[in-house]
Chains A and B, each alone.
Chain A
Amino acid sequence: MSFLMFLNTDLLVATVRLSTPITLAALGATVCERAGVVNIAMEGIMIIGAFFAAVTAFYTGNPWLGLASGVLAGGIYSLIHAAAAISLHLDHVVSGAVLNILAFGITRYLMVLFFGHPGTSDAIPSFLGDYQFAVPLLSKIPVLGPVFFNQTPIIYISFILVIFLAWFLKHTRTGLHIRAAGEHPLALETIGVSVYKIKYLAVFISGLASGLAGAYLSIENNVSFTEGMTNGKGFIALAAMISGGWSAAGSFLSALFFGFADALQIRFQVFRIFHVPEELFIIFPYAATIIAVAGFVRRSRPPKADGVDFIIEKENE
């Protein structure tokens, strides 16, 4: 086997697979933080999404229904964050931390109720990985074809979402309102737009996206739910969103970078290039992220009113 044999298309395909959950959660977080609501709860929302996607797919036998319920469960669960951070003026980080704690308790508790045992759910009968399809013509393009145009449904959705959200935040009315809510909420309120409503919407969107990320893990990439299967990916998404400069495209690129480093790390082990303890390989993507952040990421700025409590005392109430 030649030394550099692993630098091939498969590596890039693996990169996309590994980065998809991170991309989706980071996209959600981007929308949320653009509206001025800090979100560290992606890990918890993902695990909720993964759980409900698997449960629904298991009981109905239909992975698409699983997908819908995973996404919806993520959205609904994130509304707790919205209510806490926006209406109850709770510190955003606190509320996010609560959601993370709750999610693990809830899924473990429900796991026993639904499946009679903790750990891992029973395998779902049919999963979204079966719906892999190649886009005619485009998938024939060398390298890019198999990477971007021969994938499974949620991966396609994630590509579409990146483009859509980048456009949405910049060029639509609602997108502008979301960004204004994170920069100058008072100005937005004075032109008659409810900042609360916009923030609720943004948090809900982020919940949907994180729920989708969870569904990807349990019913597209795999066929069962495992407690703790997110394994820190929600936090990596947080890092990707920040190092992506609070933008959709930036989040996507950062997530891809991490996925690439992880895919590379696995191949280093397969080829056993260096004779060092395996843990050093596992560390590689984390170290690479630090180096990239230190070397390439310019000082990026969060939205001005990110995490800032917004209180409107309405008179005559």
Chain B
Amino acid sequence: MTGNKTGTKVRSEREHMKKALDLISVLLLAAGAVYYLGGSFSGLAALSSGAALYLFNIYYFQGKEKTLSAVKKYLSRLIVPLIGIAAAVVSGAVIMLLTGYDPIESYTALFYGGFVKNWYVAVLNATPLIFTGLSIAFAFKAGLFNIGAEGQYYIGAMAGAWLGFKLELPPLIAIILVYAAGSFLASLWNFIPALLKVKTGAHEVITTMMFAHIARYLSPIFIRAFGGDPATSTHPYVTWELPESSWLLSFKSFIPDANYRLHTGILIAVAAAFFVSYVLENTKTGFEIKAVGFNKEAARVQGISVGKNIFIAMMFAGALAGMAGITQVLGLDHKLFENLQAGYGWNGISVALLASNNPVGVIFTSLLWGALDAGGQYMARTTHTPNSIVEIIKGIMLFLIVAKYIYIYAARLIKKKKGGGSV
């Protein structure tokens, strides 16, 4: 009896201990992520120690085998992307060699520029991409192809600028309201495509794409209406500056070393990714949307309203892509530019697919894309290699990472050879 009691006591103590350590590791990971995304590499230390603590926790409380299996689990997820990246890098090197550029010099510049020197640019590039990637990934989950995310991006940007001008409120409230109302307006941009999809079956690829073109050409009209003060500039191609109350907090305000342009929009993007992940995995709506995306007929048989869920998915996707535009305006530019080639909607397709539509995965693929773009610029500046090679490497990478069957074939081939040898 007494022995049993002490046993319980010890166990509960161990439980507390485990929970506390878990909490510390999560906090370390979160703080590390914030600092790392803020451009401070001390964040990496916190990240890696958080991860180490997490593993140590498993080791200490659950034993060696569990640790190994956890490590294996994460590594096995990483193995295909890493092989894909490596193979793309090698193919890029071959192309460079064939066309007379130095691959080692180029890659040193590419990776140093993207992940170290101009890491903050990578984060800036990734911020809108995460939102549009999420938008596209979410629609894909419902079996929809939101090819017009670009348009919702423009609407979000316009709505963000417009509300930023109109709402004269204290900082935090202004930002929250702009996000709420702006993403609502952007989701409204998908209202007609959603309605047509449900009522007449008009394909969303047609309607959202046409709406994207429309939104894109509405932006110069908007800019002319809200800018071009000849007293400050001779060029009315850009709106007035937003009042500071609607600017997003910059990292510099709490990390002194951070680049002054780097804003906390990336944190909102990351939070949005976890939110989308939560919605898809843990809510009824998420379940229904996935069911509709997986098989409409089966979903209908189960009593799930296909129309309603398609509608929800389209509107939500519109809101997410709109947030990309809002974040860009409130965080980075503080005004709306005549953005001749935004392209975030199109690139969002790549990052969503690269992450196989996994919302949390979109964060990493966007950062990778952002870093490659930032590094490509650095490479083009410091070496003679043209940065269009980066586009080619990106394409090959996407191809090799998503084409899992390559690895299955490769595995089979190896097996066959081995089998052949023994006979």
Contacts and interface: CB of A to CB of B under 8 A. Distances in A.
A and B touch in the complex (CB under 8 A): yes
Contact of B392 (A106, A239, A243, A297): A106
Nearest to A106: B392
A84 B214 contact: no
A277 B221 contact: yes
Interface stretch (B103-111, B162-170, B197-205, B254-262): B197-205
Classify the interface of chain A: helix, strand, loop or mixed: helix
Given A88-B405, A98-B395, A102-B395, A297 B213 contact: no
B213 A283 contact: yes
Contacts of B95: 109
Interface stretch (A16-24, A156-164, A288-296): A288-296
Contact of A299 (B201, B214, B399): B201
A84 B399 contact: yes
A189 interface: no
B53 interface: no
A239 B386 contact: no
Interface residues of A, number: 46
A155 interface: no
Interface string B206-247: 110111011001101100100000000000000000000000
Interface stretch (A61-69, A89-97, A125-133): A89-97
A234 B5 CA distance: 73
B131 interface: no
A277 B405 contact: no
A113 B391 contact: no
For A89, A94, A104, A118, which residue has the most chain B Cβ atoms within 10 angstroms? A94
A242 B203 contact: yes
Interface string B397-412: 0110011011001000
Contacts of A280: 217, 221
Contacts of B210: 239, 286-287, 289-290
A294 B209 contact: no
Contacts, number: 129
For A91, A98, A112, A297, which residue has the most chain B Cβ atoms within 10 angstroms? A98
Contacts of A282: 217
A87 B388 CA distance: 28
A283 B398 contact: no
B390 interface: yes
Interface of A: 40, 84, 87-91, 93-95, 97-102, 104-106, 108-109, 112-113, 118, 232, 235-236, 238-239, 242-243, 277, 279-280, 282-283, 286-287, 289-290, 293-294, 297-300
Given A280-B221, A297-B202, 5 more contacts: A98-B398, A105-B392, A232-B213, A242-B205, A300-B203
Interface of B: 95, 99, 145, 147, 192, 196, 200-203, 205-207, 209-211, 213-214, 217-218, 220-221, 224, 346, 349-350, 353, 386, 388-392, 394-396, 398-399, 402-403, 405-406, 409
26 contacts: A84-B403, A87-B405, A88-B406, A93-B353, A94-B353, A97-B398, A101-B395, A101-B398, A105-B391, A105-B392, A105-B395, A109-B389, A232-B213, A238-B206, A239-B209, A239-B210, A242-B203, A243-B202, A243-B206, A279-B217, A280-B217, A287-B210, A287-B214, A290-B192, A290-B211, A293-B207
